[in-house]
Structure formats: structure tokens, C-alpha cells
Structure 1
Amino acid sequence: MEGKGGELADAGGVRILSTFQERLEEILERASKLRPEEMMFRYKGLLYPTVLTSVETLQAMHRFEARPDDMIITSYPKCGFNWVNQLLWDIASASQSEAKDGKTEVPNKVKLLEFEGAERYEMMKNEPSPRVYGTHNHYEDLPPSVHEKKTKLLVVVRNPKDNAVSYYHFYQNNPLLPNVGSWDEFFRKYMAGEVGWGSYFDNALIWEKHIDDENVMLITYEELKENLVDGVQRISKFYGLSLSQEQIEKVADKGTFQAMSEHSQKTHSTFGKVIFRKGVIGDWRTLFTEEQSQEMDAKFEACLAGTKIGAKLKYDLYC
């Protein structure tokens, strides 16, 4: 999740747009005046953050005009969106570097479509290709033009136990979201789908139906942690971008979670510490009780066991 319409610096510091900090301060001020029950609203059965989007924006999103060569990342919240978003910008920049005498001119703009709005969608029409943007919405809530143009979609998933713990800390540390109290309370809401963007499992099951679509590539957070060089290479190939081995390794070196976390003050302003926390596998063990672990195991078995996404998640290994 990012600030509405926020524009940030690229990882090399070529462009730092102070308007992002100003916009963030404005959003924080608005959020501070809301009661907890006012900080989320429901649209088509799902919860969304009040200060970052609106019913009007979510409706306007369906009129957004996608292009065939757009680079779109989609994920359930806290599955690695911000990390992979930065990787996409670095991949896009690397693919254009030779034409620009080795100088990266592609600005890093962190865009979630559901946070942009009709005015921003119009402005995006004038942006050069490839445009990089993303969404937490699942397949059925994407703009129709994405399906019509067969725009390529990079879907990032993460094991649900680590996702739940990461999402809990994000709720607790994010002044734009209501405080949920204890971990036990959040776990109940998470399992019931009463958190932003609804149920993790519903989201995964919808993507399961499209995992073999020619314009869809699914990659896991854990795969990228295991072998980031291979992940960068596969992502580049998926988008039809030819990067040398040297370029791939450079993107991977700059794109480790640790490197991005250390750089987050520049790329994400004061919000960086909220977005980049630990970035590790297995952190779920710090909060899950045995009973909660068994409840999650049963939910996974009922929803995702035997599916292609379930197999990709290597649940038995990581959970």
C-alpha cells in the first residue's frame, strides 16, 4: 500500500519529488482526524482504506486504459509488492540504459491503481512506455482494458502465515489504518477476510483460475528470497526484455530486501520504515500459537491443497 498518487525517487536518486512528502503529510493529517471505525470503507464486499481511495476512484479505475506493453504487478497486501515493484522499475531502467548512454532516466513512481483516481489516469496516458504500476485487486476487479489488451500481469504470492504476521505489523505501524489491538484479534479478522482487500484465500483462489493464462506469471516471495538472480532473469524474460547477465546481477544486487530497506528513506520517504520491516521467511513463528497454526493449516488444506498455487507456495516447507 502506498500514498495516493505518490511519486518517489528512483533508486539511484536521479529524481526526488518532494511533493510526495507533502502529500503524505496531508494524508496523515486527514487520517489523524478519523475515528478507527471511519478509517476503512466497504466496496463490493471488501474493505479499503478511506484516506487512500474512494468509491469514485474504484469505479473510475474500470475506465483506466491499459497498454499491451505495461508492466503490471499484482499481489495481496504484504506479499512483497513494494519489493517487486522496485525490481520492475530497475529492470525497466536497465533495459533502456544503452539507449540513454548508461544513464537511468526512468522515474520510480509507486502506483497502485486503486489509489490514483480519474485525474491521474488521464495523466498516465501521456507517460512513455513501459509504464510500471500495480494493484492489490484480484483478477476480476482489474480494469477491463487489461484483459482486452492481454497486458502482462506479474502475480506475487507469499505463504499465508508470514503474510498474516507481516500484515498485522503493517496495521499496527501504519497511521493510515485502524489499530487492531492484539495479534489474536487480528488473526480472527484475517481468517474471516475482514481486513483490507478481503480474504487472502479468496484472492489466491481467483488467481488459481488464471495461473496458466499466457499473460500471467506467478512468482512467490520465497522463490525470490531463495534465488533473486534467477527471479530477475525470469521476470525480464516474461516482459520480453533482454538484459545481459551483468545487468541482471546488478539489478539483483541492488534489489535485495536489505538493500531496499536501507534505501527506503530515499525511495519511500518517512513511510519506508512502515513498508520495509524484516523481509524474512518464518517470522510467523514469533506470533502464531499452536492452535492458530493448526487453524491455518486446515484452511490451507481446504482451500489451496492440490492447486497449482498451493504447490508453488511449498506450504509444507515454509509453514
Structure 2
Amino acid sequence: MADMTQFLQEITKAIENSKNIPKDEVIFTYNGVLYPTAVCDMVTFKALETFETREDDVMLAAYPKCGSNWTTMLLHSIVHAVHNKHPSAIIPMIEFKSTDKFEKLKADSSPRVLATHFHYEDIPKSFFEKKVKILVMFRNPKDTAVSLFHFYNNNPILPTYNSFDTFFSDFMSGKVVWGSYFDHAVVWNKHLDTDTLLLMTFEDMKEDLEGAIKKISDFFSMPLTEEQVKGIADKGTFKSMKDNSKNTHGEMSSAIFRKGEVGDWKNYFSEAQSQEMDAEFEKTLAGTKLGDVLKYNIYCKW
């Protein structure tokens, strides 16, 4: 598809540009949060302040490595099934820079599939003013940490870590791209009763993909037939998307689609690290709506 070709060209361009960025400038800080220089810049962030949202935009918000690429592709499949609209050439992450990005977004037909890793408070206010429906994706924090560790080491646009121990320290202190997992979670938790938000988890999607697709399509008022749900689920398993990822995500495929498993953290966490994260969860999320949905005792205990 021509659109996918343009999408891959944008990814390839970002990787090529990253080779010219000095090592000490690969990451930059904005409002106290780290971002990768190869795909983000202040010009794009500034332009987002006046970005024109639409009430029928299909928006995904997810902390990195919580299933955002997987879910974005499912959203495109749902939109295609209902509106016969193919994915646009625009990389859906609103904070990613690309040539003539906002002109292309303005010209793109509705409904547009958009996504972000931004902290709640950094998402353009117009999304909330227009009451745009937002799918919020989370994953248990231990698997998220391991996945983000590998994302750093498999991703040419990010620095590498010699050990998980070093990375874990930065993850817990929020010194990773897009900031602290727990900061994201605590703020989203405050808004989960808003009827324009739907909370889903990576684990729920792994457990019952068809049920998740139906829930998501109903939330965005794009009901599917049972046959459509099954068709999207068959092509939309993590394994199917990983097997096809060279075609969809080019050089970034191995960084974006790794294992997609639940419980891989047990191969990396020490007992002390597990206890440290347990304590942070207890302090920030235990007993909250998001904390309950994450099923921490099921997915994050030995």
C-alpha cells in the first residue's frame, strides 16, 4: 500500500537522522520529561498547542511499551471495517515530528486515528475541550519496565544500557523517555470516571482479544458484526502483527514487536527490585480504580 510505504519512509528517515545526532544530544528535556531527539522536537510540541482536534477523532493514550503500536493497528482495522478508510501516511503519534505533519492531518479525512505517549497534562487541551473519546492503555509496570529496557537497547534512536539494574534505577526515578510510569498512572487514575475515557490493559487484550475489540469499537460508536470482530482478531493477534512487522514497521520492527508476553519480568527482576516496585505500587495505586484493573497481585507477584 502506498500509505504504508510513506509510513516506512518516515521511520527510515528518523533512523537515518539519528545517526547524525551527537550522543549527548540523543535525548532532550521538555517540562522536566525526557524525549528522543530523532522523533520529537520543540517545534512540533509548540504546534500541538493550537492543533485542531475533531470530535470524531479516534484517540489512543498509552505509556510507552503498553501495547500502543498493537492497539493503533487494531484501531485502524476497526475504522477500515466501519468506514472503509485505509490508514493514512501520517505517523499517528501526535508528538512525533514529520514533514508537513499538521497540514497532512488537517487534510486527512475523518475519523483520524491518533495516539500519544504524553503525560495527561501535556496532551493538547483541545482533546478534552472537544470531548474527544480517548482509549487509555496500560500494562503491568514490571513487564512495561522490561519491555522498555529492550526497546532502548534495540532502538537505534535511543541510548543503550549495559544492564537491567542500571535501567531499573532510571525507570523507577522517571529518567526514561516520556517520564515516570507511576506519574502517568496516578494522573490518569483521577480521570477514569469521565465518560469520554475507556481504560483497557495489555493483559486483558491478550486474554480476550475479541472481547477487547468489541468493547473498543462500541466505545468509539463503531459497532462491528461478529464476523468483523473475528476477522480483526484473527489478523490482530500480537503474533500476527509481529510476523508482519517487517512490512509494517521496517527497521523498527524488532524494537516495537518483541515478545508481547505477560510475566517476562520474572526473568529480569531481582527480589529487591520486585519489592521496590511493589512498595511504589502500594504507595501510589493500591486500592485505586486503575490499580484494581491492573490486577497487580495476579501479574506482578512471584
Deviation at 1:63, TM superposition (A): 1.1
What TM-score do the two structures reach when normalised by structure 1? 0.90
User: In the alignment, what sits opposite 1:4?
Assistant: none
User: In the alignment, what sits opposite 1:7?
Assistant: none
Distance 1:235 1:25, change over 3 A: closer
Distance 1:23 1:69, change over 3 A: closer
Match of 1:307 among 270, 288, 298: 288
- Which runs of structure 2 are paired with 1:1-319 in the superposition (5 Å)? 14-15=1-2, 17-97=4-84, 105-107=86-88, 109-116=90-97, 119-319=100-300
RMSD over equivalenced CA pairs, Å = 1.6
Q: Which secondary structure does the structure 2 equivalent of 1:285 belong to? A: helix
Q: Are 1:228 and 1:252, in contact at CA under 8 Å, matched by a contact in 2? A: yes
- The runs of 5 or more residues in structure 1 that have no matched partner are 1-13, 98-103
Distance 1:250 1:67 in 2: 28
Deviation at 1:119, TM superposition (A): 3.3
Deviation at 1:189, TM superposition (A): 0.2
Q: Are 2:58 and 2:114, in contact at CA under 8 Å, matched by a contact in 1? A: yes
Distance 1:302 1:243 in 2: 40
Q: Which secondary structure does the structure 1 equivalent of 2:100 belong to? A: helix
Distance 1:15 1:254 in 2: 20
Q: Which secondary structure does the structure 2 equivalent of 1:29 belong to? A: helix
Distance 2:178 2:119 in 1: 9
Distance 1:145 1:152 in 2: 12
Distance 1:244 1:22 in 2: 34
Q: Are 2:133 and 2:220, in contact at CA under 8 Å, matched by a contact in 1? A: yes
Q: Are 1:113 and 1:135, in contact at CA under 8 Å, matched by a contact in 2? A: yes
Distance 1:147 1:133 in 2: 14
Distance 1:294 1:42, change over 3 A: same
Deviation at 1:268, TM superposition (A): 1.0
Distance 1:21 1:250, change over 3 A: closer
Deviation at 1:110, TM superposition (A): 3.5
Deviation at 1:172, TM superposition (A): 0.5
Q: Which secondary structure does the structure 2 equivalent of 1:63 belong to? A: coil
Q: Which secondary structure does the structure 2 equivalent of 1:72 belong to? A: strand
Deviation string for 1:191-230 (max 9, x for gaps)?
A: 0000001100000011011101111001000000110000
Distance 1:64 1:141, change over 3 A: same
Q: Which secondary structure does the structure 1 equivalent of 2:34 belong to? A: strand
Question: For structure 1, which segment, 167-176 or 15-24, has the greater mean C-alpha deviation from structure 2 after superposition?
Answer: 15-24
Q: Are 2:63 and 2:118, in contact at CA under 8 Å, matched by a contact in 1? A: yes
Q: Are 1:36 and 1:179, in contact at CA under 8 Å, matched by a contact in 2? A: no
Question: For structure 1, which segment, 260-269 or 164-173, has the greater mean C-alpha deviation from structure 2 after superposition?
Answer: 260-269
Question: For structure 1, which segment, 78-87 or 262-271, has the greater mean C-alpha deviation from structure 2 after superposition?
Answer: 262-271
What TM-score do the two structures reach when normalised by structure 2? 0.95
Distance 1:61 1:107, change over 3 A: closer
Amino acid at match of 1:48: Y
Q: Are 2:90 and 2:104, in contact at CA under 8 Å, matched by a contact in 1? A: no
Q: Which secondary structure does the structure 2 equivalent of 1:87 belong to? A: helix
- Over the matched positions of the two proteins, sequence identity in percent amounts to 45
